[in-house]
Amino acid sequence: MTAEQVDVLICGAGPVGLAAAIELGRRGIRCLVVERHERVGRSPRAKTTNVRTREHLRRWGIADALRAASTMAPDYPSDIVFATRMNGPLLARFENALDCNPAPNNLYSEAAQWVPQYVLEEVLRRHAVSLPGVTIAFNTELVGISERDHSVVAEVRDNSSDLARRIESAYLIGADGARSAVREAIGATMVGEGAFSRNFNVIFRSPDLAKRHAHGPAIMYWMVNEDVPAILGPMDATGLWSFGVTKLRDDVDPATVDPVDLIRRGTGLADLEVEVVATDPWVAHRLVADRYGSRRIYLAGDACHLHPPFGGFGMNMGVGDAVDLGWKIAATLSGWGGPNLLSSYEAERRPIHQRTIAEAVINYSAVGNQLVRPGLEDPGLVGEATRREVGDLIEATKIREFKTLGVVLGARYAASPVIVPDGSEPPTDHFMLYTPSAHPGCLAPHLWLRDGSSLYDHFGPDFTLLVTAGDARDGQALAVAASALGVPIRIVAPSDSRLEDRYQARFALIRPDQHVAWRGAAIPERPDELLARVTGNFAGPVEAAIRIRERAGAAA
């Protein structure tokens, strides 16, 4: 076999692999995505594209495309209902759960969206293949990997023809899920707690369910009862639903259970017409890889972290991995990313994974089995008092799962080697409350500007120097240094008096992923040293500047 050559080989064409391909492809990096499956079907997998992922879609120019592809009406409420059954008493209701309300909010540029993962994947796939350097090969399986000093050689096999191909690439991204062949190939191990409990999902069609239940439109219904506590959610407006039973009893065998009977008992609608489309037994884990890569191979998404899917974090966190890896690999291949840039990937992402996974595990500790109380469905005084007790418990405990902006937008790269600290104190972590802050490592604070545009829309695709007070000429010293070193940068000065207070600095250097790399009252006397730090070109100040110039020249 002769080796085909690409810049980056990506294993896995789920949202994480496709996000990596988009992040690379839009920067002119040639990449091949291989996927061992056809990626078709009706399993919803993730159903929440959160605020931060939607902001990445906006940055890529496809946020409107996902909105248009929605399987639900634009005004469909993002409420979450807790009831004993679909024809039983209401226990609690959370409105605007997961920040799906499309009304403008200064804290973010895009609201979240309730949409099945297969719809998101199709939008991402269409955009990825529209980029000149991106190719996707479905039904193609990774067979082996050989890592060399300056490249990775992988063998892949077309499962339909059984023909093998050899792919040589500068880097390889393993976005191939929980059973990652890439992770196995580099000898990384998942560490933590596995197999918390068994769970069972059913995809079914029931056109009459929306009209027959008692609780109005919502994106999720939690049925809290002693018989079949379960979670139900619509997948489209035509009667396709997802039904999940969490923490199955030990005496229940998913292989022999009757899904129609489960659905009817859980909902309380004994004569409901149900057409089963698919079933999916699954097990919850809390696992993180002991390392996220090697010299030229990196893991992203479920390949390096697994947790219970409560809070809608998993897929979105994987997209964040892809973004972090994507711009850093592109910078390295383009010549201005230094030898310490890619090594910052694990240093930045691991703490985010650990914090977010801890939240998911807390959420998983309070599912229907734990919320139910004896007498919950009884008539009269006993039932009313018990339902009030459980309703109060739900409102106190489950808000942590459905009001999560502090986790979604509050992620910061506190100990990153490519972030320049300024001695200030970061905002306090909180699961719900998000405090916008330009503390280095934090997400750049957002604002809607008076012309109706998002501040983020003014940022460049690579580095951006934001001038919060003054005009663009005030940042010329940094622009000149960046030009000499080959670091792409845009200077923006929106002339909005709110910005300086929001950023607590006159200047802020924003990375391609919209996190703050540095902020200050004035441009440093040696802007080349600042640029060397944030691009991973560490050495002495002079050596770093020489190295970055040499790399830029070699790339040209």
For 312-344, the pLDDT digits (tens) are 999 999 999 999 999 999 999 999 999 999 999
How many other C-beta atoms are found inside a 10 Å radius of the C-beta of residue 523?
20
Q: CB of 507 within 8 A of CB of 470? A: no
Report CA 177 to chain centroid distance, whole Å.
14
| CA–CA gap between residue 401 and residue 219 (Å, rounded) | 14
pLDDT band at 540 (very low <50, low <70, confident <90, very high): very low
Report CA 184 to chain centroid distance, whole Å.
23
What number of CA atoms fall less than 13 Å from residue 307's CA on the CB side? 27
Q: pTM (2 decimals)?
A: 0.93
Report CA 394 to chain centroid distance, whole Å.
26
For 453-506, the pLDDT digits (tens) are 999 999 999 999 999 999 999 999 999 999 999 999 999 999 999 999 999 999
For 409-438, the pLDDT digits (tens) are 999 998 899 999 999 999 999 999 999 999
Q: CB of 466 within 8 A of CB of 508? A: yes
Tokens read off for 363:
């959420």
pLDDT at res. 44 = 60
Cβ neighbours for 543, distance < 8 A, ≥ 6 positions apart: none
Cα distances (angstroms) measured from residue 30 to each of 6, 17, 75, 135, 213? 6, 14, 40, 8, 51
Bridge partners of 138, per DSSP, are: 35
Say which residue the tokens 């050495």 belong to. Answer: 539
Q: CB of 154 within 8 A of CB of 166? A: yes
| CA–CA gap between residue 245 and residue 324 (Å, rounded) | 35
| CA–CA gap between residue 212 and residue 513 (Å, rounded) | 45
* CATH fold of 3-72+116-190+289-362: FAD/NAD(P)-binding domain (3.50.50)
Q: Where are the domains of the chain?
A: 3-72+116-190+289-362, 412-555
pLDDT at res. 257 = 86
Which class does domain 412-555 fall in?
alpha beta
Cα distances (angstroms) measured from residue 526 to each of 216, 233, 507, 523? 61, 56, 15, 8
Say which residue the tokens 């005084």 belong to. Answer: 381
